[in-house]
């Protein structure tokens, strides 16, 4: 059981924090809700107390004998601010301690996660962007708000990410940097970032996810069973480390991970174009997507119908090799340019060591993650296992575990390779 502070800013999205609180408590965490004084205009103290089973106060004068403005931050395993309004971000960046929440932030030595929610103009204002940069530089995780409906008729960036995705990110941050099987972080940092926070700070991570589809006609396609779960797990793990994350998602029907830019594509050629367009700015590229090797030579303009005759064979042609082209594009960079780590994935029904090493050498990526698929493994499941082969000759075995945990292990390998050259 982890000790979580759920800070609530004075925004209309405060009602969504009730669902986030429910998810955290149902997962077994002890949650202390600390609203700002004005946040109680949106959701009252009795609601927070009833849902959390903990006392709720906004000022530093209640329970003075317990010194709450110090003890709450000192003993927390995670501080999660949702919604983090422009005012909360500004006061946190300035180091103010004008209420219990901002005082607790000053004493926290655990991971801190801010989920901003505000109108687009407030989010884009230079003052807010400066405050976000300051907090990120200190090791805090500040996820970008989602795009969607705001208050009144307005729509744009500034919407609070969905509670389920914030919960998944919080769980990732709590588990990252811990001993496997432990319930809370094993060590505490003195930087305000905490274990697992900010290790990819200011790094850009590009991830492919899902399975491509190659159209036969307007209603049929050649595809695969990939759901995008592993790619989205990598996205959450990278965000939890402070990275700026972009996902190129092929036919994924999952909610967008909190704080992630998602580019949606359909076919292998679509993904090829999107990945190469984004690759130059990336410090790390992770190719988890199941990309079709072949596509039909021709696509019928109308639905192919049965006409009583044997169906004609479908002629296929090769799709572009995205991973190989990413490696080739990296090789064309100036030799004194920033280093980039490229991770390939190989989903195999009969994984063999020699074949994996051959593929690693042929593709030229830094790491090749070989995972078994079929017969209830890989596609569509919540867990995964893998052998990770390094271009340096290393081999890492990842036992069957959650896809989030597997992503954690692989990103540690990526971090090591980035740190070797920086």
CA gap 89, 70 in Å, rounded: 20
Neighbour-count burial for 390-415, b at 16+ CB within 10 Å, e otherwise? beeeeeeebeebbbbbbbbbbbebbb
Question: Which residue from 394, 374, 377, 375 is spatially nearest to 385, judged by alpha carbons?
Answer: 377
Question: Which residue from 344, 323, 335 is spatially nearest to 413, judged by alpha carbons?
Answer: 344
224 included as an active-site residue: yes
For residues 385 and 328, the answer to whether their CB atoms sit within 8 Å is: no
Q: Which of 131, 224, 251, 384 is catalytic?
A: 224
Q: What are 205's strand-pairing partners?
A: 245, 284
Q: What are 221's strand-pairing partners?
A: 215
CA gap 236, 81 in Å, rounded: 17
For residues 75 and 41, the answer to whether their CB atoms sit within 8 Å is: no
Q: What are 343's strand-pairing partners?
A: 286, 367
Task: Locate the DSSP E strands across 191-260.
Answer: 204-210, 214-215, 221-222, 244-250
CA gap 101, 33 in Å, rounded: 9
If you ran DSSP here, which 8-state letter would residue 309 be given?
Answer: S
Characterize the bridge pairing of strands 284-287 and 204-210: parallel
> H or E segment at 419?
helix 403-419
Judged by DSSP in three states, 250 sits in: strand
Characterize the bridge pairing of strands 395-402 and 261-265: unpaired
If you ran DSSP here, which 8-state letter would residue 302 be given?
Answer: S
If you ran DSSP here, which 8-state letter would residue 211 be given?
Answer: B
Q: What are 242's strand-pairing partners?
A: none
Catalytic residues, which ones?
224
């Amino acid at each position: 059981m982890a000790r979580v502070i759920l800070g609530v800013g004075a925004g209309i999205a405060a009602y969504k924090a009730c669902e986030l609180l429910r998810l955290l408590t149902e997962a077994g965490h002890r949650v202390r809700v600390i609203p700002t004084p004005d946040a109680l205009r949106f959701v009252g103290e009795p609601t927070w107390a009833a849902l959390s089973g903990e006392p709720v106060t906004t000022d530093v004068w209640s329970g003075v004998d317990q010194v709450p403005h110090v003890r709450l931050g000192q003993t927390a395993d995670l501080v999660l601010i949702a919604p983090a309004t422009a005012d909360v971000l500004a006061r946190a960046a300035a180091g103010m301690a004008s209420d219990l929440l901002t005082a607790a932030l000053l004493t926290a030595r655990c991971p801190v996660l801010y989920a901003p929610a505000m109108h687009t103009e407030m989010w884009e204002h230079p003052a807010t962007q400066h405050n976000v940069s300051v907090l990120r530089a200190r090791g805090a995780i500040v996820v970008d708000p989602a795009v969607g409906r705001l208050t009144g008729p307005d729509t744009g960036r500034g919407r609070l990410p969905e509670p389920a995705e914030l919960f998944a990110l919080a769980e990732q941050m709590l588990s990252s940097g811990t001993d496997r099987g432990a319930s809370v972080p094993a060590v505490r940092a003195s930087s305000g970032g905490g274990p697992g926070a900010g290790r990819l700070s200011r790094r850009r991570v590009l991830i492919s996810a899902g399975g491509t589809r190659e159209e036969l006609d307007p209603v049929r396609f050649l595809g695969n069973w990939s759901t995008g779960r592993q790619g989205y797990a990598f996205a959450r793990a990278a965000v939890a480390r402070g990275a700026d994350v972009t996902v190129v998602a092929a036919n994924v029907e999952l909610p967008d991970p909190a704080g992630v830019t998602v580019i949606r594509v359909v076919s292998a050629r679509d993904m090829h174009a999107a990945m190469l367009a984004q690759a130059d700015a990336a410090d790390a590229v992770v190719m988890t997507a199941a990309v079709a090797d072949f596509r039909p030579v021709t696509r019928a303009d109308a639905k192919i119908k049965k006409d009583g005759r044997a169906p004609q064979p479908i002629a296929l042609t090769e799709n572009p090799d995205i991973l190989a082209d990413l490696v080739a594009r990296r090789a064309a960079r100036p030799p004194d340019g920033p280093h980039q780590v490229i991770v390939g994935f190989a989903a195999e029904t009969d994984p063999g060591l020699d074949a994996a090493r051959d593929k690693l050498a042929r593709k030229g990526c830094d790491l090749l993650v070989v995972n078994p698929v079929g017969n209830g493994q890989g596609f569509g499941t919540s867990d995964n296992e893998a052998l990770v082969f390094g271009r340096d000759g290393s081999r890492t075995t990842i036992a069957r575990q959650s896809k989030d945990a597997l992503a954690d292990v692989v990103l540690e390998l990526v971090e090591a390779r980035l740190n070797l050259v920086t």
